[in-house]
Structure 1
Amino acid sequence: MGDADHLEDFGREERPPCQLYLISPPAFDPQAHAAALGEALSGGEVAAYQLRLKGVDDAAVLTAAAVLLPICRQADVAFILNDRADLAKAAGADGLHLGQTDGSLADARRLLGAEAQIGVTCHDSRHLAMEAGEGGANYVAFGAFFPTSTKTVEHMAEPEILRWWTALSPIPCVAIGGITAENCAPLVRAGADFLAVSAAVWAAADGPAAAVRRFAEAMRTA
């Protein structure tokens, strides 16, 4: 995986500063999105990118991955695939993000190997986070922290769960759900290792590079 194992780097005693974890738009043209992704990654502030495509066939996912993964590799950014361990392996992804209904962490680890970066959605649940950590997850994801139009929100989380987790475990935590440069400071202060963002970057009126810079500044000054 080269140097694109930023997610693993956070499993150390001293946590580095918070970084961005970009999530793809829910639907897009791969070639058009490739240009936006290149812009977003140009400043070096992004640690990981997750390809999250719902309701499309496997071939569409692999086509998008073939276009976007080289851009992440060039920028030294971890390329994570959502949901499907088999597609993550076929695409040559750096890792996989599993929701609670996306299959077994143990099965995914067996398929993808010890070097794969595997994260698990834990909603607002301490129990799920403990299970994921004990099961060998490389990171846990909490949220949603704010309302979001990217997906239907069934679980809302409070910053306190980030404080609890970072005091308990060296495994990185990702905050997700409606996060913007304007509202992210409490999550950074609570200990989030990564902020997972989508619309706040891709839908920014002044473009993804400017949006990423705003996040970088907000994280530095939180």
Structure 2
Amino acid sequence: MLAEALDAGDVAALQIRLKDADDDAVRRATEALLPIAQAREVAVLMNDRADLAVELGCDGAHLGQEDGDHAAARRLLGPDRTLGITCHGSRHLAMEAGETGADYVAFGAFFPTTTKEARHRAEPELLEWWSEFFELPSVAIGGITAANCAPLVQAGADFLAVVGAVWNHPDGPAAGVRAMNRAIAEAAG
């Protein structure tokens, strides 16, 4: 199923996000998923854990604000692995992330989401501001679908992080990827 989804269109990265799993389960999942994604030149990012990203050969890690020392994670990942940092709706946190050496900043949630409790909300204007003043890429997160992504693309999001839009698509994940790719192309048009 993962291979079909990744083959269906443009996918920049796959995040391994297993919040309630123990380290052994994360290792097993990563060992199964990593070769599928990397064979398609799709970066694999470990959620929350820079140490596991390095140990398992992932392309990088994505950290939230409560996921440890971001500067230490940058050092651990080194210059060849990606570090992304969630900045919620905060300009200040985004600028700090850039100073820490993040390779991208993530803003959101932009829409209601069932993936996790969205304590922070972001507006498209934040993406406009970021893209006007900074070269560091931005990722929009939170409840994004093919039906609602246009304002985020038009506001300057460099990437869109999606879960349900792909994995819960009624016609399957490959159809979800195709739908997202179409919607992004139309919005960027």
TM-score range, shorter chain: over 0.9
Q: Distance in 2 between matches of 1:130 and 1:109?
A: 15
Deviation at 1:105, TM superposition (A): 1.7
Is 1:48 the counterpart of 2:13? The answer is: yes
Pick from 110, 115, 126 the counterpart of residue 80 of structure 2.
115
What are structure 2's unaligned runs of at least 5 residues?
Answer: none
**Structure 1 contact 44–75 (Cα < 8 Å) conserved:** no
Is 1:191 the counterpart of 2:156? The answer is: yes
Other structure's SS at 1:206 match = coil
**Structure 2 contact 9–178 (Cα < 8 Å) conserved:** no
Q: Distance in 1 between matches of 2:9 and 2:175?
A: 12
* TM score, norm. by length of structure 2: 0.97
Other structure's SS at 2:44 match = strand
Q: Pairwise CA RMSD of aligned residues?
A: 0.7
**Which residue in the other structure is 1:82 paired with?**
47
Is 1:220 the counterpart of 2:170? The answer is: no
Alignment of 1:170-181 (within 5 A): 170-181=135-146
Other structure's SS at 1:211 match = helix
Other structure's SS at 1:197 match = coil
Q: Distance in 2 between matches of 1:57 and 1:215?
A: 32
Alignment of 1:74-153 (within 5 A): 74-153=39-118
Q: List per-residue Cα deviations over 1:39-81 (Å, max 9, x = no partner).
A: 1100341000100001111000011000000011111000000
Q: Distance in 2 between matches of 1:136 and 1:84?
A: 16
Task: Name the amino acid aligned to 2:133.
Answer: L
* TM score, norm. by length of structure 1: 0.83
What are structure 1's unaligned runs of at least 5 residues?
Answer: 1-35
**Which residue in the other structure is 2:147 paired with?**
182
Pick from 161, 181, 202 the counterpart of residue 167 of structure 2.
202
Q: Distance in 1 between matches of 2:21 and 2:161?
A: 22
**Which residue in the other structure is 1:70 paired with?**
35
**Structure 2 contact 9–177 (Cα < 8 Å) conserved:** no
Deviation at 1:155, TM superposition (A): 0.3
**Structure 1 contact 98–121 (Cα < 8 Å) conserved:** yes
How high is the sequence identity, in percent, across the aligned residues? 63
Q: Distance in 2 between matches of 1:76 and 1:143?
A: 26
Task: Name the amino acid aligned to 2:44.
Answer: F
Q: Which runs of 4+ in 1 moved over 4 A?
A: none
Deviation at 1:104, TM superposition (A): 1.4
Q: Distance in 2 between matches of 1:103 and 1:136?
A: 15
Task: Name the amino acid aligned to 2:159.
Answer: F
**Structure 1 contact 176–196 (Cα < 8 Å) conserved:** yes
Other structure's SS at 1:38 match = helix
Q: Pick 1 or 2: higher relative contact order, CA cutoff 8 A, min separation 6.
A: 1
Deviation at 1:196, TM superposition (A): 0.2
Residues matched between the structures, number: 187
